[in-house]
Structure 1
């Protein structure tokens, strides 16, 4: 689809015009990731649960265009906002973001609160000051950044053509774009996260340093639930797919029930006013 000047690769499951369903947008991680990580994990089952599931490759990733510049967080948010317009989605959506995708989800919720019903952040950090520092260390630090070093080490320990492909794709993004330089310069959220007003469900691996955020998120956000999966690392979507799916499904179906109740209540109140 042509979105915000890009050719964006989109996959949609469970969409039926005659029966509007809650829209769930799945946002993947950075560099070695694409919408395929959801296509082979959460997406098909969520569609079977009666949800309208949208997946897309972020700019520079997968089959989406790879422009040389335009890789600040606000660019990713503009892409998502334009994608919803292109898909003619006119009601609030649920955003599920893995790793960097979770940061995009948080930023979208802050920039366009009217478009976001809830955020599910899987091993993700809101794009505030500490996030920017992490991005800088990971992408432009000594030796190419910690992220590049960790990916290289993982591939050495897990050889094979299947594992090499995402790393080659990540290398093309880093070589052909300004992502590493621009992303740490993104506009950031205030530390109190007051711009995020929708319900948030954050899932962490217990062995990941990001799990230390639980107290901060619960204290900063008005409506936040956190879950930590013991003995799991950053890649909980891969390491604990079934557990992650069950948590995401239950949250989304719970939100679906609450939305239906609110709609019925609004309709009932309207009918009562009409009767009077």
Structure 2
């Protein structure tokens, strides 16, 4: 399993595509997932000749889970350090979903010269009380019986009804898989949830994002509702905005075809490939 020591923590990472690629795409995970959650997406970019970098944040599935608290600034610093170690020195295209979208925003704010473009999917720059309640509920589940109980407790805040109706066996299988995950994973989740609740607050810094940006939200996202993405789209100069109908919080699983088209089109348009 490829790991790299970054700021004293072992981070799991994966790299795909040619080492001499002119441009790199960085995918940043949702909080509960790992790099494999992007399996429907990164091969498309590799096929076009991009280099792709993925990693688990500290606290996530295959990376170290040091005691908290963490911050989004730390996650961004560690992503930048990982890219340095991999020899990726030029601007990168950032694609992040949910928690990964918040990390991507922090990266674009703190390292404007290193962000070629930015896509944030179902993300936010501030919290309301309902979102806080959902995440606090996840935290309590992660401290409790875990396994399938954790999945079924969290699922209603994640998926739109139409997706649930069409994918009951898929969801049941994901729930069963949770039974095989050890307590270390859930301890890491608690720290990540606490990080989100404490540190997802940078609306007043959105004006510092200067790269081309696409904001994507599921129309029926109840965890990070459309108003969250409205703020992002209004706060980032020139941001493009895509609302995906009949879609909840997990657009990368619920609407992959629409999202593939949007991601590919946006990144290519804002890369050297799109200028040829």
Bin of the TM-score, shorter chain as denominator length: 0.7 to 0.9
Query: Deviations for 1:62-98, whole angstroms, at most 9, x for unmatched residues?
Result: 2111112242222211211211111121111111001
Counterpart in the other structure of 2:255: 240
TM-score (norm 1): 0.79
Of the two, which has the highest radius of gyration? 1
Residue segments in structure 2 that go unaligned for 5+ positions in a row: 157-167
Aligned to 2:198: 185
Q: For residue 246 of structure 2, what is the aligned residue in structure 1? A: 231
Alignment CA distance shift 1:213-1:50 (3 Å): same
- Residues 166 and 101 of structure 1: is their aligned pair in 2 closer, same or farther, counting only changes over 3 Å? farther
User: What secondary structure, in the 3-state scheme, does the structure 2 residue paired with 1:9 have?
Assistant: strand
On the 8 A contact 1:15/1:21 being kept in 2, the answer is no
Distance change >3 Å, CA 9–CA 198, structure 1 → 2:
same
Tell me if structure 1 keeps the 8 A contact 2:206–2:235. Answer: yes
Alpha-carbon shift at residue 192 of structure 1 (Å) = 5.8
1:7 paired residue among 6, 10, 14: 10
User: What displacement does 1:240 show?
Assistant: 1.1
Structure-2 separation of matches of 1:62 and 1:170? 10
Provide the residue aligned with 2:29 in structure 1. 28
Separation in 2, partners of 1:122, 1:69: 25
| Contact 2:119/2:215 (<8 A) preserved | yes
Instruction: Name stretches of at least 5 consecutive residues in structure 1 with no aligned partner.
Output: 262-276
TM-score normalized by structure 2? Answer: 0.79
Tell me the number of residue pairs that the alignment of Structure 1 and Structure 2 aligns. Answer: 253
| Counterparts of residues 109-148 of structure 1 (less than 5 Å) | 109-126=108-125, 129-130=126-127, 136-140=132-136, 144=140
Is the Cα–Cα contact under 8 Å of residues 94 and 104 in structure 2 kept in the other structure?
Answer: yes
Give runs of aligned pairs for residues 154-165 of structure 1, distance below 5 A.
Answer: 160=172, 162-165=174-177
| SS of residue matched to 1:191 | helix
